[in-house]
DNA sequence: ATGATATTTGGCTAAAATGACAAATGTTCT
DNA sequence: AGAACATTTGTCATTTTAGCCAAATATCAT
């Protein structure tokens, strides 16, 4: 998945860019990672060590690493290396608004 | 792409279900369709004939039809046949909130 | 420097998504 | 009934994604 950018390397708001963003969220594992990063935003912006994320799933750590790379390329998360560990956090806390929206939509559908 | 459902066939709010929803939005063509359906919501709920959607793209009509099926299976749109034509509309007008959210997020990123 | 720990990357296979063409279906009109 | 139109579905080729294992890289402790 390639992030669409302008000539200056600065991303812009094309349909492709939006689609890339949704695509990054279009996987249960990545979604779970994002929701985890959305918890406790008041503590270091909700950042989590990769090692913590690894414990959440029973899949190979290389696979998690790849999922994290997808999220990062799409601009959903950022990462920072400190010592032996790498910490990921949401690129924008307001990202959680999308989930509130979605929950509302899906709940509304389920009522029918 | 299969929509996750309960035994009663009623969808529930699993990570997979959310991921399916995002996956349906994770394509520029489908995104453009959804945004088109979000216009003029006050007129027949924003519904559009497939024939109108066909004119928006230079791809085969069978491909558009498949994209519409993906959106429908994910619960993003509903359809209704009237005469020779089929009309699609957003399953929930509030879906547009997601786009407002996303625009906000991406705009915010672009400022940096 | 060596070894232990944490994470990413290369290489591969299997599965899923995309898109085109042709054929099928359903509807209206004559 | 038959033709014309609108949309969907069958089938297939191509591309993309997901996941695993092994190897590479980076950092810390001894």
Per-residue pLDDT, B12: 57
Our CA-based measurement puts residue B85 at a distance from the nearest CA of chain A, in whole angstroms, of 25
List the one residue out of B79, B74, B68, B71 whose CA is nearest residue B5.
Answer: B74
In whole angstroms, D16 C1' to A93 CA is: 30
Per-residue pLDDT, A8: 47
- pLDDT of A4 above 60: no
Distance CA A96, CA B105 (A): 10
Cβ A15–B26 below 8 Å, yes or no? Answer: no
As a CATH number, domain B15-111 is 1.10.10.10
pLDDT one-digit tens code per residue, A50-107: 999 999 999 999 999 999 999 999 999 999 999 999 999 999 888 888 888 788 777 7
pLDDT one-digit tens code per residue, A33-56: 999 999 999 999 999 999 999 999
Per-residue pLDDT, A46: 96
Long-range CB pairs of B4-11, under 8 A, 24+ apart, other chains included: B10/A110, B11/A106, B11/A109, B11/A110, B11/B75
Cβ B101–A98 below 8 Å, yes or no? Answer: yes
Residues of chain B with pLDDT under 50: 2, 6-11
Distance CA B64, CA B59 (A): 7
Distance CA B49, CA B101 (A): 27
In whole angstroms, D22 C1' to A65 CA is: 15
Tokens of A109: 């559908």
In whole angstroms, D11 C1' to B63 CA is: 14
Our CA-based measurement puts residue A17 at a distance from the nearest CA of chain B, in whole angstroms, of 8
Per-residue pLDDT, A13: 73
Q: Is the CB of B18 under 7 A from strand C?
A: no
Higher pLDDT, B11 or A22: A22
Per-residue pLDDT, B100: 82
Residue A85, classed as helix, strand or coil, is strand
């Amino acid at each position: 998945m390639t992030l669409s950018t302008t000539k200056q390397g600065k991303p812009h708001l094309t349909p492709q860019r939006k689609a890339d963003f949704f695509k990054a969220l279009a996987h249960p594992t990545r979604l779970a990672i994002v929701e985890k990063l959305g918890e406790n935003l008041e503590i270091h912006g909700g950042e989590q060590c990769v090692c913590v994320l690894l414990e959440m799933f029973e899949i190979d750590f290389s696979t998690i690493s790849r999922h994290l790379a997808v999220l990062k390329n799409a601009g959903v998360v950022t990462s920072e290396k400190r010592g032996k560990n790498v910490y990921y956090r949401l690129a924008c806390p307001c990202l959680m608004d999308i989930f509130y929206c979605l929950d509302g939509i899906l709940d509304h559908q389920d009522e029918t």
